[in-house]
Structure 1
Amino acid sequence: MDIKIFETSEQLDNYAAELYVNLIASKPNAVLGLATGSTPIGIYDKLIESYQNKKVSFRDVTTYNLDEYIGLTPDNDQSYAYFMNKQLFSHIDIPKEQTHLPNGNAADVEAECRRYDALIAHNPADIQLLGLGNNGHIGFNEPDDKLTFGTHIVELQEETRQANARFFSSLDDVPTRAVTMGVGSIMKAKTILLVVRGSAKSAIVKEALTGPITTKVPASLLQTHQQVIVLLDREAGRMLG
C-alpha cells in the first residue's frame, strides 16, 4: 500500500489526475473506475483541464461508476448519472456509450445488478477511484457481518444518509436504497486509488489502513489488494504515524 500525504488539496488533485493522464497515455483504451461525491470533484476538474490543454483524449476510454441511488432517474439532479455528466463527461470527448453506471431506476433492479456485474467481469478497471465513508464504507458497501461480492442492492445506513443529506433539500429526500458494486467487484481493479480529505475522516483512515481487516470496516479489506495507492490531505492523514 502506497500512502501519500499532501499539504494541499490542489497538490492531491494534480497527482491523482496525472495518474489517470499517464495511464491513458500508455493505454488509450484504459478502463477507468469512477466515483461520485465531493471527494473526486477537484480531480475531475484537473482531468477536464488536461483535456482542454490537449494533454489527454478520452475517446477510447471506458468508464464504470461504483453506484447509483435506487429510484432516481438520470435527469434528477441528485442522481449520480447527472453528477457524472455535470462534473466530467459533458466536458470531455468520451462517447456516452462508453460510460457506464448502474441503473437505479430499472424495472428489475436484481437483473440490473447481474447485467452490471457481467460488464465489469468482461472489462475490469485498470484503476478504480474510491472515496471513504465516515463509517468505513467504500462504494455503498456498508459495515456488516458479511459483505456481498458482486453488484447488489443495499439499504443505506442512517449515518450514510445523514452524510449525503447536504446534497438534498432534506434528509427525507435522501434515498434509502442504492445499487453498488460489491467489494469483490471493486477488488478486481488492477490498481485502487483511495482518496480521503479532511480531519473528520482521520480516525476512520487510520482504522481502515492500519486496523484489523474486518467487514465492519469495509475499506480495511483494501489491505489485501496488491496495488493500492492512498492519497490523503494533511488533515485526513494526521493520525497516521
Structure 2
Amino acid sequence: MEIVIVENKAEAATIAADIVEAYAREGKTLGLATGSTPVGTYQELIRRHREAGLSFADCQAFLLDEYVGLPREHEQTYYQTIRREFTAHIDIEDAKVHSPDGTAEHPGEAARAYDASIKRAGGVDVQILGIGSDGHIGFNEPTSSLVSRTRIKTLHPDTVRDNARFFDGDESKVPHHVMTQGIGTIREARHLLLLAFGENKAEAVAAMVEGPVSAMCPASVLQMHEHVTVIVDQAAAAGLEHTQYYAYALENKPGWQRF
C-alpha cells in the first residue's frame, strides 16, 4: 500500500484527480464510487475537463453498486447520482457509464451478468473507493467473503438508518437490498484508489492498513493487492502507528512527491 497523508480534502482531491487523469488521458476504464468521499475528486476532474480540456470521451466506467428495486429515474439511485455529481458534466457518453440493474426481474442473474460485463470490457484500470467506519468497501460489510463476486446483499439496519437522510428521513423508503461488486471483483481492478476523511474513519483505516487481513475488516484485503493508493487526512490517519513508512503532503512533513 502507498499511504499518503494530506492536510485537507482539497489536497486529497488534487492528488486523486492527478491519478485518475493519467488513466483518463489513455482512455482507460474507470471504476466509480458514489457517496460524499469522492465528490471533491469528481469536482476537480470536472474543473480540469472544463478549464484544461481533459477528455473522458475514450473512457468507459463501471459503478460499484446499486439499490435493488428503485426505478432508474429515482433521484437516489446510484445510476442517477453518479451522473448528477460527475459524468453528466464531462464528455463521456452515457452509454459508456455502466451500473448494476437494480430493477431486473432476476437480480441474482443480473448481478452475475454485471460481473461478466466488467470482464468482457477488459476489467477496471483504476477503482475509486471509500471505506465505511466498520471497514466495508462497496456494500461488502464485515464477514463478507474476501473472494466474493457481484451479488445481492441485505443492508445492515444501521446502514438503512444512515441512508434515511437521503429519503426524507423515512427509513421505510430506503431499499433494504443492494447489488454490489464483491471483494473479489474489486480486487481485480489494476489500481485501487481509496480515500478516507475524518476521525470516524480512523479506526477502520488503521485496521485496513496495519491490522490483520480479515473478513471482519473487508478493506484489509487491500493489503494483498499489488497497486493500492490510500489518501487520508490527518484525522483519518490518527490511528496509524507506523507513520514513518508513509508519505506526506503536509508542510511540516517532507517526503511526498507527485505521482
Q: Distance in 2 between matches of 1:76 and 1:189?
A: 29
CA contact (8 A) 1:78 1:167 kept: yes
Task: Find the counterpart in structure 2 of residue 126 from structure 1.
Answer: 125
Task: Find the counterpart in structure 2 of residue 9 from structure 1.
Answer: 9
Task: Report how far residue 148 of structure 1 moved.
Answer: 5.4
SS in 1 for 2:4: strand
Q: Distance in 1 between matches of 2:158 and 2:209?
A: 21
Q: Does 1:202 align with 2:202?
A: yes
Task: Report how far residue 133 of structure 1 moved.
Answer: 1.0
Aligned residues: 239
Further displaced range: 208-217 or 183-192: 208-217
Task: Find the counterpart in structure 2 of residue 214 from structure 1.
Answer: 214
Task: Find the counterpart in structure 2 of residue 141 from structure 1.
Answer: 140
CA contact (8 A) 1:135 1:159 kept: no
SS in 2 for 1:53: helix
Unaligned runs of 5+ in 1: none
For the pair shown, the structure with the greater C-alpha radius of gyration is: 2
Does the C-alpha gap of structure 1 residues 181 and 145 become closer, same or farther in structure 2, counting only changes over 3 Å?
closer
Task: Report how far residue 121 of structure 1 moved.
Answer: 1.3
1:57-72 maps to which residues of 2 (within 5 A)? 57-72=55-70
**Letter of the structure 2 residue corresponding to residue 107 of structure 1:** E
**Letter of the structure 2 residue corresponding to residue 108 of structure 1:** H
Task: Find the counterpart in structure 1 of residue 245 from structure 2.
Answer: none
Unaligned runs of 5+ in 2: 242-259
What TM-score do the two structures reach when normalised by structure 1?
Answer: 0.95
Q: Distance in 2 between matches of 1:145 and 1:233?
A: 27
Does the C-alpha gap of structure 1 residues 52 and 110 become closer, same or farther in structure 2, counting only changes over 3 Å?
same
Does the C-alpha gap of structure 1 residues 111 and 145 become closer, same or farther in structure 2, counting only changes over 3 Å?
closer
Task: Find the counterpart in structure 1 of residue 230 from structure 2.
Answer: 230
**Letter of the structure 1 residue corresponding to residue 195 of structure 2:** V
Q: Distance in 2 between matches of 1:234 and 1:105?
A: 40
CA contact (8 A) 2:57 2:92 kept: yes
Task: Find the counterpart in structure 1 of residue 106 from structure 2.
Answer: 108
SS in 2 for 1:205: helix
Q: Following TM superposition, where does structure 1 have runs of at least 4 consecutive aligned residues deviating by more than 3 angstroms?
A: 145-148
Task: Report how far residue 84 of structure 1 moved.
Answer: 0.7
Deviation digits for residues 119-139 of structure 1 (CA, Å, limit 9, x no counterpart)? 111221110011001211100
